[in-house]
Chain A
Amino acid sequence: MPTPERAGPPLELRGAGKSFGAQVALLPTDLVFEAGRTTVLIGPSGCGKSTLLRLLNGLLAPDSGEVLFRGAPLRAAALHEARRRSGYLIQEGGLFPHLTAGANVALPAQLADCTAAAIAARLRDLAGLARLPADLLDRYPAQLSGGQRQRVALMRALVLDPDTLLLDEPLGSLDPLVRAELQDDLRAIFRALGKTVVFVTHDLAEAAWFADRVVLLRAGRVVQAGTIAELARRPAEPFVREFLAAQRRTHAGLEALDA
């Protein structure tokens, strides 16, 4: 897909902040997302990580500063294109209940005027990639398990072969076994495809599993960004240590921290 090359990283926040009324969700923030890397946004509930993610595909517009998509400001005109070039996956999958799994996956491609044959081929490839039995594509979301729904949602996010993938606690509602299985599959897919990934979670183990880089937020502010080992070795402030320690208690034997 030939596109005009622009200077700059796939995604960048420049002083971007967002408030809802008097409630500050995200203070003006500078953050660069490098191509092909997985960034995990982590922090306690209400820290602004979901707001940050929504700024990245224009579901929210910043009050201050700007969001750059491939170096260009993400505004009304560019929004449409930017959204088609970034896949988005949320907790319950956001599958449309009136469409079959296959139709859900195909929808973005149909809107992009792909041919039926191309779409069918793409569906087969993606089903293989997401390890979803192809016969499930004829089912409606209500007829699928939670894990299967997330695999379908992932296929939908990937169908236009986007440059970036934005995931908002995609595994949050799954039971532990399904979740572990999907964590394995997702990481394999990210690595295989080389996408720029921004992944929101509040689970440190999950962050450690996926992240090239972790961005820890608290109360609308980036507390520290770096590898999880850096955060553990050189915490920028006491909160970082507290956050890691609290999570470590619940996940005794967290490998990445020991490494």
Chain B
Amino acid sequence: MIGLLAIAAALPLSWCGQDPGSPAPRVTVGSKKFTESVLLGEIAVRLLEDAGMETRHRRELGGTRILWNALLAGEIDVYAEYTGTLLHEILADESLAGEDLAAALEARGLRASRPLGFENSYALGMRAAQARELGVASIGDLRAHPGLRFGFGNEFLDREDGWPALRAAYRLPQESVGGLDHDLAYRALDAGDIDVMDLYTTDAEIVHYDLLPLTDDRGHFPRYEAVWIWRADLVDRAPGAVAALRRLEGRLDSGTMRAMNARVKLDRDPDAQVAAEYLAAELGLAGEWTLEPLAARLLQRTLEHLLLVAAALAAAVLAAVPLGVLAARRPRAGQVVLALAGVMQTVPSLALLALLIPMLGIGALPAIVALFLYGLLPIVRNTHAGLVGVPAELRESAEAIGMSARARLLRIDLPLASPSILAGIQTSAVIAVGVATLGALIDSGGYGQPILTGIRLDDTALILEGALPAAAMAIAVQILFGLLERVLVPRGIRLAAVR
């Protein structure tokens, strides 16, 4: 335990600390947890480093809202966003027209680049061969082929602004329209079971299955053009950063983006490599890239994971044992404490993280706080149970000897309750090892990172790269506590338990 605490105390400096003496301006890039966003993040990093910046990539954050808030809070300086997402999701309340977007961002201390070139919009897609055969290139062309079978994702099928609006806008006559899972739709299309599906224009599968996204000739779908958005203060803090990012404006077309997505998602090429090779070809940037060896990655993540678990657990022990003592001493306050700790346990972890971000931002701190809150209940409950379970005749004997309340607690009650308290801490520790993997959603590092990436890329090996060490750590925690019990639980109690 002391070892863990020492690591916990020493790590933050080496891990998340910034070097104040560094002369190069430091720019933090964010990305969402899907392949295209991560690739754009890597591209931004390389553009900035090429301009002499220090960079940090906070990868695969858990959603649009988290990135947006992180950008507003200054925890990241730049990320790639889509105009449609800005207009229809983030700033939906303001019902902005496209030309008002720049002003709306400016009002928030943000700036946007011109479009990078590609769109990631809703589209309808067909097998390229069939489209050629039928002479279909745009959605309007589908009117001439009423016999085509449509298969849409359920959301697209049902949403007011999905299929019903599209059908009305283009007066599409097709009768065979079914709903099915998006991933299955690609296979159904490939197998010829359906002819047309909804897709996003930069989906990697378009390349894989040789599909053709049909032109939206009436401009029905909102446009999701990729742009950089950055904090206005970046110009002063890191002169040259904005110019470096803007080198990409208008250069990255949908086909290229699709091909890069396909390389990462389908061919499993590392995103850093794909980004480097693209920039080397497109802008002549130095093309070398490195992938950390497995052992180094594992070590790094193990330290990160240990930090999360150890810091949260240490704080939980310090808070929960006194709370358990209070609960045992004052039954009424105890009910309140136990109820609150219980409620804390029922808050879904994602919701808790989302609630903590406005206060604590992203990174290790909110994850540690969340793990701390989850860790309280088992320790409070077991401390309470252990103390309440001290036999009445022993409590009476201690009192009759003339021991003060403090001496009774420290020398009698807590040692007698120690097996129960230790079991509670063990439960908390095992829970923390598991829940800490979710911290990857807010860039707190640890074993969750490869799991998250593995899920994104449907890469079992990568998922296991996080899941197996996490399971091993959980087992190690069990073993550690087995050993701790020998040290911490007085021998006389263990003897008594055996009898």
Question: Chain A interface (Cβ within 8 Å of chain B)?
Answer: 57, 59, 80-81, 83-84, 88, 90-92, 94-100, 107-108, 111, 140-143, 156, 166
Query: Mind listing 6 A-B residue pairs with CB under 8 Å?
Result: A84-B401, A88-B400, A90-B397, A98-B415, A99-B490, A142-B492
B210 CB-CB contact with A under 8 Å: no
B399 CB-CB contact with A under 8 Å: yes
B407 CB-CB contact with A under 8 Å: yes
- Given A94-B393, A98-B415, A98-B416, A143–B399 Cβ distance below 8 Å? no
Q: How far apart sit A181 and B493, CA to CA, in the bound complex (Å)? A: 29
Determine which of B393, B396, B402, B496 lies in contact with A142 in the assembled complex, contact meaning CB atoms within 8 Å. B496
Determine which of B396, B411, B492, B498 lies in contact with A107 in the assembled complex, contact meaning CB atoms within 8 Å. B411
Determine which of B397, B403, B493 lies in contact with A111 in the assembled complex, contact meaning CB atoms within 8 Å. B403
Docked-complex contact A111 and B402, CB < 8 angstroms:
yes
B296 CB-CB contact with A under 8 Å: no
Having A83-B400, A140-B491, one finds 15 other A-B pairs with CB under 8 Å, namely: A80-B402, A84-B401, A96-B416, A97-B394, A97-B493, A98-B493, A108-B401, A108-B402, A111-B403, A111-B407, A140-B492, A141-B496, A142-B492, A142-B496, A142-B499
Docked-complex contact A99 and B400, CB < 8 angstroms:
no
Contacts of B490 in A (CB 8 A): 97-99
Docked-complex contact B492 and A59, CB < 8 angstroms:
no
B13 CB-CB contact with A under 8 Å: no
Determine which of A59, A99, A156 lies in contact with B399 in the assembled complex, contact meaning CB atoms within 8 Å. A59
- Given A90-B393, A98-B415, A142-B499, A59–B493 Cβ distance below 8 Å? no
Determine which of B394, B493, B495, B498 lies in contact with A94 in the assembled complex, contact meaning CB atoms within 8 Å. B394
Docked-complex contact A97 and B402, CB < 8 angstroms:
no
Q: How far apart sit A97 and B390, CA to CA, in the bound complex (Å)? A: 11
Q: How far apart sit A95 and B398, CA to CA, in the bound complex (Å)? A: 9
Q: How far apart sit A94 and B391, CA to CA, in the bound complex (Å)? A: 9
Q: How far apart sit A140 and B403, CA to CA, in the bound complex (Å)? A: 21
Docked-complex contact A84 and B402, CB < 8 angstroms:
yes
From residue B414, how far is it (CB to closest CB) to chain A in Å?
10
- Secondary structure dominating the interface of B: helix
Docked-complex contact A94 and B397, CB < 8 angstroms:
yes
From residue A103, how far is it (CB to closest CB) to chain B in Å?
9
Q: How far apart sit A111 and B400, CA to CA, in the bound complex (Å)? A: 13
- Given A94-B394, A111-B407, A142-B499, A83–B402 Cβ distance below 8 Å? yes
B435 CB-CB contact with A under 8 Å: no
Q: Which B residue sits closest to A82, measured CB to CB?
A: B402
From residue B392, how far is it (CB to closest CB) to chain A in Å?
10
Contacts of A59 in B (CB 8 A): 396, 399-400
Q: How far apart sit A188 and B310, CA to CA, in the bound complex (Å)? A: 59
From residue B465, how far is it (CB to closest CB) to chain A in Å?
44
Docked-complex contact A141 and B401, CB < 8 angstroms:
no
From residue A238, how far is it (CB to closest CB) to chain B in Å?
35
Contacts of B492 in A (CB 8 A): 96-100, 140-142
Most buried by A among B398, B401, B495, B499: B401
From residue A77, how far is it (CB to closest CB) to chain B in Å?
13
Q: How far apart sit A68 and B344, CA to CA, in the bound complex (Å)? A: 51
Docked-complex contact B495 and A142, CB < 8 angstroms:
yes
Contacts of A156 in B (CB 8 A): 401
Contacts of B404 in A (CB 8 A): 80
B412 CB-CB contact with A under 8 Å: yes
Docked-complex contact A96 and B402, CB < 8 angstroms:
no
Contacts of A111 in B (CB 8 A): 401-403, 407
From residue A113, how far is it (CB to closest CB) to chain B in Å?
12
Contacts of A80 in B (CB 8 A): 402, 404
Docked-complex contact A96 and B394, CB < 8 angstroms:
yes
Q: How far apart sit A80 and B406, CA to CA, in the bound complex (Å)? A: 13
Docked-complex contact B397 and A88, CB < 8 angstroms:
yes
Docked-complex contact A96 and B496, CB < 8 angstroms:
no
Docked-complex contact A94 and B396, CB < 8 angstroms:
yes
- Given A98-B492, A100-B492, A140-B495, A83–B393 Cβ distance below 8 Å? no
Q: Which A residue sits closest to B399, measured CB to CB?
A: A59
From residue B393, how far is it (CB to closest CB) to chain A in Å?
5
Q: How far apart sit A107 and B412, CA to CA, in the bound complex (Å)? A: 11
Q: Which B residue sits closest to A100, measured CB to CB?
A: B492
From residue A165, how far is it (CB to closest CB) to chain B in Å?
12
From residue B165, how far is it (CB to closest CB) to chain A in Å?
73
Q: How far apart sit A107 and B398, CA to CA, in the bound complex (Å)? A: 10
Q: How far apart sit A151 and B402, CA to CA, in the bound complex (Å)? A: 20
Interface residues of B in 364-410 (CB under 8 A from A): 393-394, 396-404, 407
Contacts of A166 in B (CB 8 A): 400
Determine which of B400, B412, B498 lies in contact with A96 in the assembled complex, contact meaning CB atoms within 8 Å. B412
